[in-house]
A and B are shown apart, each in its own frame.
Chain A
């Protein structure tokens, strides 16, 4: 089992809708979780991070953690075409490495 797994998509949502992205992780002891956005041809940009003590909201973005089921989700409210990108989930692993999922490609349709 991979340490961090994401559905590769593509995920398409209409403009204004809520986009929901999920990430599962294998290390039950993981304490922090990061979401990156990567536009085509660009480097990853950190958009959200949460720690195991709770969910977090930042503008249109909400990160939620379900420790029992070992997944973390990213919700994007009022999706915009500019949100179209690949979203990468990252989790510090037991070997002191930041392990990335393969990413979910999101397309927001005007």
Chain B
């Protein structure tokens, strides 16, 4: 069974731009979560989607948004990029929710210049 895939793997943007990241979960998994990982803050929860509905959201500004499609694929969008948004963005999928095992994709490395 194929794992979680994320595109693109690397991205360079400048301040003020916006970016869209994509995640395809493991087949049959309906829950998709997004995390930001930085050396200083570690892994921080952004939001979780299940059946096209955002079930939970972490403590991030409204510039960070996401959505999930009927095939469980998910996208996250960051608008008006700031230097501090440079990070590894990870997507994880699980069968139903965070009480099940979550499997991570390879991540998207975003650099904001």
Contact = CB atoms under 8 A, between A and B. Distances in A.
A99 B33 CA distance: 12
A43 B88 CA distance: 9
Contact of A45 (B55, B88, B99, B104): B104
Interface residues of A, number: 22
A44 B104 contact: yes
Interface string B42-66: 1101001000000110100000000
Interface centre among B33, B56, B97, B98 (most CB of A within 10 A): B98
Interface string A95-107: 1111111110000
A46 B102 contact: yes
A97 B56 contact: yes
Contacts of A44: 43, 90, 104
Contacts of B58: 97
A99 B46 CA distance: 11
Interface of B: 33, 35, 42-43, 45, 48, 55-56, 58, 88, 90, 97-99, 101-107
Contacts of A101: 42
A31 B42 CA distance: 23
Contact of A97 (B45, B104, B105): B45
B104 A88 contact: no
Contacts of A31: 99
Nearest to B43: A100
B104 A43 contact: yes
A56 B54 CA distance: 33
A103 B102 CA distance: 17
Given A96-B98, A98-B45, A99-B45, 18 more contacts: A31-B99, A32-B99, A34-B101, A34-B102, A43-B90, A43-B107, A44-B90, A46-B102, A49-B101, A90-B102, A92-B99, A96-B48, A96-B56, A97-B48, A97-B56, A98-B33, A100-B35, A100-B43
